[in-house]
Amino acid sequence: MPLHETEAIVLQSYPLGEADRLVSFLSRSMGRVRGVAAGARRPKSRFGSTLERMSYVRIWFFERETRELVRINQCELIESFVDVFKDYAAGVALAVMAEVTEAVLPDREAGDPSFRLLLLSAQAIKRHMEIDLPLAYFALWTVRLGGWLGSFERCARCNKQLAGIPAYASRAVSGVFCGNCRGTGMKAISPDALNAGVKMLADRLDKIEASNIPKTALRELSRYSLDLIEHQIERKLVSREMLETAV
């Protein structure tokens, strides 16, 4: 039973048995992992509050050859996000990010870009208590890292430049289309949203000024990206419904 040590972000945590917790976390070295923290619900548990949702932690765990669940041995808090959940909108945004990460990433496949994306987006929400830009950035890049995003600059069918002309997209097809190539069921996507998307795919989150992008464009991009994610995972995101009332 080798012991692993890695940085991780707690995605979900559920009560298990009488005193344990089942924890799903995104680790830097091994990707998404599920494990059991024995005794974590006891009042004086050594895990303390380290296993709260979205906690950024250093975690030690044992892999068990025959079982899917690892045994979590120790956990130290690096950064807490508990206070962010006290703000309804910010808490809902973090919940969406945790649920999306849990849903799209395969078991135990290391992906440092996904780890950094989740951490930086959550930290941006915590720092500014503003959700539109970090959430749109997170959702768009999740779609990009998943390989489900087409170009925002050229029509996916005829390659025509989309800058300044009406553009259309749907959740079922990757890519954006010009008016001539528009398929049935495709909805218009605004020039502001396309521009914002191009900017976000080219820059780091902390380099982008939220004030330079209309809120409507950010929300449109979030909706578009979350639609693509729901299409890929073939189900609705539970936390997304709360998002509609939070913004």
Residues 28 and 6 sit within 8 Å (Cβ to Cβ): yes
Q: How far is the CB of 218 from Zn ion (least distance, A)?
A: 26
Nearer to Zn ion, 111 or 175 (CB): 175
User: Strand 31-37 vs strand 187-189: parallel, antiparallel, or unpaired?
Assistant: unpaired
Nearer to Zn ion, 49 or 159 (CB): 159
Which residues make up the interface to Zn ion (CB under 5 A)? Answer: 155, 157-158, 160, 178, 181
Q: How far is the CB of 180 from Zn ion (least distance, A)?
A: 5
Nearer to Zn ion, 136 or 162 (CB): 162
Nearer to Zn ion, 11 or 155 (CB): 155
CB atoms within 10 A of CB 111: 16
Q: How far is the CB of 164 from Zn ion (least distance, A)?
A: 14
Nearer to Zn ion, 181 or 247 (CB): 181
* R_g over Cα of the chain: 20
Kindly report the three-state secondary structure assignment for every residue of the chain: CCEEEEEEEEEEEEEECCCEEEEEEEECCCEEEEEEECCCCCCCCCCCCCCCCCCEEEEEEECCCCCCCEEEEEEEEEECCHHHHHCHHHHHHHHHHHHHHHHHCCECCCCHHHHHHHHHHHHHHHHHCCCHHHHHHHHHHHHHHHCCCCCCCECCCCCCECCCCCEEEECCEEEEEECCCCCCCCEEECHHHHHHHHHHHHCCHHHCCHHHCCHHHHHHHHHHHHHHHHHHHCCCCCCHHHHHHHC
Nearer to Zn ion, 38 or 155 (CB): 155
User: Strand 31-37 vs strand 56-62: parallel, antiparallel, or unpaired?
Assistant: unpaired
Q: How far is the CB of 182 from Zn ion (least distance, A)?
A: 8
Q: How far is the CB of 191 from Zn ion (least distance, A)?
A: 16
Q: How far is the CB of 146 from Zn ion (least distance, A)?
A: 24
Q: How far is the CB of 96 from Zn ion (least distance, A)?
A: 32
The amino acid at residue 86 is: K
Nearer to Zn ion, 154 or 215 (CB): 154
